[in-house]
Amino acid sequence: MRRVRVKDDALEQRIFLRRALIAGIAAAVLLLLLAGRAWWLQVLRHEHFSELSQENRARVEPLPANRGLLRDRAGRVIADNSPAYQLELVREQAGDLQATLARLEEFRLLDGDEIERIRQLLRSRRAFEAVPIRMQLSEDEIARYAVHRHELPGVALETRMARRYPHGPIGAHALGYVGAIGEEDLPRVDQARYFGNGVIGKLGVERSWENELLGQGGFREVLVNAAGRRVEARDGDALPLRGRAPVSGNDLVLTLDIELQRIAEEALAGRRGAVVAIEPDTGDVVVLASLPSFDPNGFARGLSRREYLELTGNPDLPLFNRALRGTYPPGSTVKPLMALAGLEYGVITPEESVWCPGRYSLPNSRHQFRDWRREGHGHVDMHSAVMQSCDVYFYRLAHTLGIQRVHDAMRRMGFGEPTGIDIGGERSGIMPSPEWKKKTFSQPEQQTWFPGETVIVGIGQGYWTATPLQLAHATALLALRGRHFRPRLVRAVVDPATGTTRDIPPQPLPQVQLQDPRHWEVIVDAMVAVTTGPRGTAVRAARGAAYTIAGKTGTAQVFSVAQSERYDESQVAERLRDHALFVAFAPAEAPRLAVAVVVENGGHGSSVAAPVARAIFDAWLAPKVD
């Protein structure tokens, strides 16, 4: 029987040794690879991964820049910043954003109507950015946040500087206000500059000069734990925490005088209307008032929906800037300008007498255009026609001139186009003409210009509308006998860091040249007679003044009265009564201020609007008594 070897010990030994060697080599290679990788990570890439680690353990917190201050012409602060608590939310730390916002509403820290706006705002910002969602919390709201803080991931209470308007509603339409950034603001928001800043200028100077006022936001890194809460740095931290200091926005020096603004608004209190006062030789707007007004501090802290609806639903329209956007028939305030046009075109002389029986009819027409004085003024020349505000004289003059020449002359005086003031929102008003009517109306039968429409344009009625700013600007042009400047509200920009002041020089506009410069004095003398003459319509308002006022009263119809009817103010609803207007400059011989006053549904310019202007002139021109 043959023997068979079952086990070969030597072969198995060789196989084992070969496998052990291969395994050892493989292990050694892996160890070398791990060591090399560790050396590459720990030595060669140490700085890079240390920075990444720093970013994981550090949170970037914004440092919004202080908004530039607003000062009036005397250096008084009219808009500044004060410390306030606000809620900020970091989207990447909030977890379930919808649930966090719902809890904020539940804890009465957010208004439910604001949720959608805030959600859109958060989505428009970077996920790591702290976005302000509620400004200027009350003590009660701060306490509620403290109680529920653990239920609000990603929400922090921070101390920031908030906008404050120490004079409240005084000058609100000129200054404007800041408010929370909304969806409509996003196209003009640079994320780098607005980092951590949740407000933006919404109106007036605050909006139009946003770029100067905003400044440059900064940031700081703070250490946080795994839960995202801030912790103190320990010795041996690998990298210093980074940061960049914010740069405050520039301060603005305005042309407004806040005390004169207060006097104007107090004189107009309880009524709807506007007042604009301009320094003729610079174009500086000293007063720009629109009443009723509003408190811009409410927008700075964030209005509730109820508060906002109260403002927007108010029939008196407190948010509407009547000084820039209100368009009114200028009424008889334009009669001096109409007289000037008649002189320039040579269709009438100052001495020419016109008979005023209290009514006027076009040739071959039975329609009567009535004078405000039913019995008429008798024989009037240009001087007495302006002084007494004779309608018939200017009906006849407008018809003689024709609408095209009226239009061309008034466009030279600035009507029918914006003045170009340095804040937005200004309307152009309407200076009508046949061409304008063709462009405005779509029906052929409505596009024809009728002679009767020219007649009523002669007394500032019909299609002609103007803003109070335009009226003040035209009055300033008269005051300087054709020289005028673009109206402005900002006269200088100040860098708060260096104290450097950048003056903004007045911007002269092309001078209105007359064929005969003596015509200016003819018109100014007639306007002086309005306040000093025996039958001047504003004599009572100017009585006792220590200076001479050149002015013109005006009354603008809100609705037409039939030929057979007589206007009775006592029988007309308040909002359908005539508007009261007054324009003036003083002192007449050396003008320092031009003023336009419009009082909606006020009735008579002489008794309602002129006293407002008188209060302004007294405060600005009367000698101070110690």
If we measure between CA atoms, which residue out of 626, 207, 198 comes closest to residue 424?
207
Look at the block and give the residue holding tokens 């009219």: 78
Q: Mean pLDDT throughout 237-258?
A: 84
Q: Mean pLDDT throughout 180-199?
A: 80
- More confident call, 93 vs 152: 152
Rounded CA-CA distance 127/113 in Å is 23
Rounded CA-CA distance 131/44 in Å is 38
pLDDT at 79 over 70: yes
Q: Residue 94's pLDDT band (boundaries 50, 70, 90)? A: confident
Return the number of other C-beta atoms located less than 10 Å from residue 399's C-beta: 20
pLDDT at 281 over 90: yes
Task: Give the tens place of pLDDT for each residue, 299-335.
Answer: 888 787 788 889 999 999 999 999 999 999 999 999 9
C-beta separation of 440 from 478 below 8 A: no
pLDDT at 2 over 90: no
pLDDT of residue 328: 96
pLDDT at 200 over 60: yes
Task: Give the tens place of pLDDT for each residue, 370-381.
Answer: 999 999 999 999
pLDDT of residue 625: 42
Pick from 83-87, 135-139, 275-279, 569-573: least confident:
569-573
pLDDT of residue 234: 61
Q: Mean pLDDT throughout 266-270?
A: 95
CA angle, corner 516, sides to 515 and 519, nearest 5?
A: 125
pLDDT at 6 over 80: no
Q: Residue 626's pLDDT band (boundaries 50, 70, 90)? A: very low
Q: Residue 118's pLDDT band (boundaries 50, 70, 90)? A: confident
C-beta separation of 621 from 550 below 8 A: no
Q: Is 332 a catalytic residue?
A: yes
pLDDT of residue 487: 98
Q: State which amino acid sits at residue 224.
A: V
- Which SS3 state, helix, strand or coil, does residue 428 take? coil
User: Which residues, including other chains, have CB under 8 Å from residue 379's CB and lie 6 or more apart?
Assistant: 353, 354, 355, 356
pLDDT of residue 77: 97
pLDDT of residue 304: 75
Pick from 119-123, 146-150, 566-570: least confident:
566-570
* Percentages (nearest 5) of helix, strand, coil residues in the chain: 40, 20, 40
- More confident call, 148 vs 70: 70
pLDDT of residue 50: 60
C-beta separation of 356 from 378 below 8 A: yes
Q: How far is CA 52 from the centre of its chain?
A: 45
Among candidate residues 208, 332, 384, 389, the one labeled active-site is 332
Q: Residue 621's pLDDT band (boundaries 50, 70, 90)? A: very high
Partners of 71 in the β-ladder: 77, 253
Q: Residue 134's pLDDT band (boundaries 50, 70, 90)? A: confident
Task: Give the tens place of pLDDT for each residue, 284-300.
Answer: 999 999 999 999 999 88
- Beta pairing class for 70-71 and 251-254: parallel
Partners of 275 in the β-ladder: 289, 597
The burial class, CB within 10 Å (0-12 / 13-18 / 19+), for 414 is: buried
C-beta separation of 294 from 318 below 8 A: yes
pLDDT of residue 53: 54
- More confident call, 100 vs 553: 553
Q: Mean pLDDT throughout 197-216?
A: 92
Q: Which helix (H) or strand (E) segment is 285 a member of?
A: strand 285-291
pLDDT at 40 over 90: no
If we measure between CA atoms, which residue out of 80, 97, 165 comes closest to residue 133?
97
The burial class, CB within 10 Å (0-12 / 13-18 / 19+), for 2 is: exposed
pTM over 0.85: no
pLDDT of residue 34: 87
pLDDT at 451 over 90: yes
